């Protein structure tokens, strides 16, 4: 913890979401001295609001940029089991991978045609899916309404609880000796006379000198102070509203992740469900809206009428870090001394293990140089 006006570390991480925490933990494990600075609570950005789907297959889309996202998503999904086990051990708490698989659902003829089209894409990419008739889908998930027309099963698309992940990463960081500075107010990048990043200026005025600053400020990465605007990464906030629900009758109503046009339901396996999410280009407007909530519930109710029996625990709002082509920005930033780990858009939880690895590879080079 900073005690004076000036501190010196190998790596300063700006942002305490899943990405910043994972990078900090991994960098410290490489023997580097690390300080992580978070303006609010750890995970209080998008990470604790996220649904936690690890869904490379369901997220697959057409186009070149989508293809590179898919490749990253698949690599990271493959890393998740070992990452969760190692993190659990380092933190002393279990990091639960919910291996439920996912059903992609169509409700009418148009949606069924679109699902067929995306199924052909997945086949052409060698992604494992299974086409199910409506009756087969309803045999797997009896809570589904007769409105289901067609389903595609993605057996390897799983989920985690991001709150469990943040708690584990926070503990692992502390245990490993990362200096974690939460509730610190907004930090700014500190430059030298040549325009290179030489550290962070904390909200209390202290300077943290660092060989490299890792910019992991999620949707706020494009507006961090200190750098000229043209040197900041091109990241914009994409608002998402999301509901957390609980079944008073306990677990079992839905066992797989269900995805459909306009939303998804993620079961936590203990009677809790996450119902998401709106995708809105509204800047940093964090107000929940009646219209957003209505749409989430309406879409889900058409497929799972039983959701009206669930208790509402929380309505969350946060911001996905979007880039122009929605490909994450992981690597050298717009000034010497800056490394970006941002722009993960809809897949930041999925991409946490891969991002930490890529950042550590880059850091090893930077610190040795
Ligand atoms: C509704 C919703 C559902 C989602 N569902 C999924 C999903 O199912 N699967 C998936 O993989 N991804 C999902 N995502 C995306 C995922 O949440 C993000 O990609 C991921 O959390 C990004 O992590 P991060 O650490 O980069 O950003 P964040 O978690 O937003 O963390 C950035 C942190 O930086 C801090 N910060 C910002 N500026 C400063 C500053 N100047 N000084 C200090 N600290 C600062 C913020 O307070 C924040 O805590 C979802 C997102 C939303 C909004």
pLDDT at 62: 87
Residue 9's beta-bridge partner residues?
Answer: 210
Per DSSP, the residues of 232-300 read S---EEEEEEEEEEE-TT-S-S--SEEEETTEEEEE-SSSEEEEE---B--TT-----HHHHHHHHHHH
Task: Find the 335 Cα to ligand 1 centroid distance in Å.
Answer: 23
Output the ligand 1 site: residues, CB below 6 A: 14-20, 37-40, 44-47, 49-53, 186-187, 216-220, 224, 240, 242, 276-277, 318, 320-321, 342, 344-350
pLDDT tens profile 250-284: 999 999 999 999 899 999 999 999 999 999 999 99
pLDDT tens profile 6-63: 789 999 999 999 999 999 999 999 999 999 999 999 999 999 999 999 999 999 988 9
First-to-final CA distance of the chain: 27
Record the pTM: 0.97
Q: CATH for 99-158+236-322? A: 3.30.9.10
Confidence class for position 356, pLDDT limits 50, 70, 90? very high
The answer to whether residues 75 and 126 touch, using CB atoms and an 8 Å cutoff, is no
pLDDT at 1: 52
pLDDT at 271: 97
Mutate which of 41, 43, 45, 285 for ligand 1 pocket (most atoms within 8 A of beta carbon): 45
Roughly what angle, to the nearest 10 degrees, separates helices 64-91 and 162-176? 60
Rounded CA Rg of the chain: 21
Protein residue with least CA distance to atom 3, ligand 1: 50
Greater pLDDT, 144 or 5: 144
Per DSSP, the residues of 278-290 read --B--TT-----H
In the chain, the percentage of residues whose pLDDT exceeds 90 is 94
Nearest atom, ligand 1, residue 216 CA: 26
Fold of 6-51+164-235+325-368: FAD/NAD(P)-binding domain (3.50.50)
Mean pLDDT, range 63-73, rounded to an integer: 94
pLDDT tens profile 296-332: 999 999 999 999 999 999 999 999 999 999 999 999 9
Confidence class for position 340, pLDDT limits 50, 70, 90? very high
Protein residue with least CA distance to atom 12, ligand 1: 347
Residues written for the chain: 369
Confidence class for position 5, pLDDT limits 50, 70, 90? low
In the chain, the percentage of residues whose pLDDT exceeds 70 is 98
Greater pLDDT, 148 or 369: 148
Instruction: Give the number of other Cβ atoms within 10 Å of residue 113's Cβ.
Output: 13
Protein residue with least CA distance to atom 41, ligand 1: 186
Q: Is 315 exposed, middle or buried (0-12, 13-18, 19+ CB in 10 A)?
A: middle
Nearest atom, ligand 1, residue 21 CA: 25
Task: Find the 344 Cα to ligand 1 centroid distance in Å.
Answer: 8
pLDDT tens profile 90-117: 999 999 999 999 999 999 999 999 999 9
pLDDT at 366: 66
Classify the phi-psi angles of 207: left when phi > 0, otherwise alpha if psi is within -120 to 50, otherwise beta.
beta
Q: What is the mean pLDDT of the chain?
A: 95
Structure tokens at 177: 């000796």
Domain chopping of the chain, boundaries:
6-51+164-235+325-368, 99-158+236-322
Instruction: Show Cβ contacts of residue 8 under 8 Å, excluding neighbours closer than 6 positions.
Output: 208, 209, 210
């Amino acid at each position: 913890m900073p005690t004076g006006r000036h501190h010196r570390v190998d790596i300063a991480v700006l942002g305490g979401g899943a990405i910043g925490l994972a990078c900090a933990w991994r960098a410290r494990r490489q023997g580097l001295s690390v300080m992580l600075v978070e303006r609010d609570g750890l995970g209080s950005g998008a990470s604790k609001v996220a649904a936690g789907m690890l869904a490379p297959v369901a997220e697959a889309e057409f186009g070149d940029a989508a293809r590179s996202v898919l490749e990253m998503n698949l690599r990271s999904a493959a890393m998740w089991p070992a990452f969760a086990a190692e993190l659990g051990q380092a933190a002393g708490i279990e990091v639960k991978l919910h291996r439920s698989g996912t059903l992609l659902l169509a409700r009418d003829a148009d949606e069924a045609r679109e699902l067929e089209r995306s199924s052909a894409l997945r086949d052409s990419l060698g992604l494992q899916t299974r086409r199910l008739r409506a009756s087969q889908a309803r045999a797997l998930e009896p809570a589904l309404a007769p409105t289901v027309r067609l389903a595609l099963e993605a057996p390897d698309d799983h989920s985690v609880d991001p709150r469990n992940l943040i708690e584990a990463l926070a503990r692992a960081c502390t245990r490993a000796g990362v200096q974690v500075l939460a509730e610190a107010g907004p930090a700014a990048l500190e430059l030298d006379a040549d325009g290179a990043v030489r550290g962070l200026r904390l909200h209390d005025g202290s300077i943290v000198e660092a060989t490299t600053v890792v910019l992991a400020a999620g949707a706020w990465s494009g507006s961090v102070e200190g750098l000229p605007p043209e040197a900041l990464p091109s990241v914009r906030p994409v608002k998402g509203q999301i509901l957390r629900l609980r079944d008073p009758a306990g677990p079992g109503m839905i066992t797989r992740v269900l995805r459909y046009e306009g939303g998804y339901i993620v079961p936590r396996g203990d009677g809790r469900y996450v119902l998401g999410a709106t995708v809105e280009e509204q800047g940093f407007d964090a107000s929940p809206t009646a219209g957003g909530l209505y749409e989430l519930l309406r879409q889900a109710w058409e497929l799972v009428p039983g959701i009206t029996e669930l208790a509402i625990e929380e309505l969350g709002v946060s911001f996905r870090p979007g880039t122009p082509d929605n490909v994450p920005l992981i690597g050298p930033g717009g000034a010497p001394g800056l490394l970006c780990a941002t722009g993960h858009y809809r897949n930041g939880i999925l991409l946490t293990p891969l991002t930490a690895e890529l950042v550590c590879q880059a850091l090893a080079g930077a610190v040795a140089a």
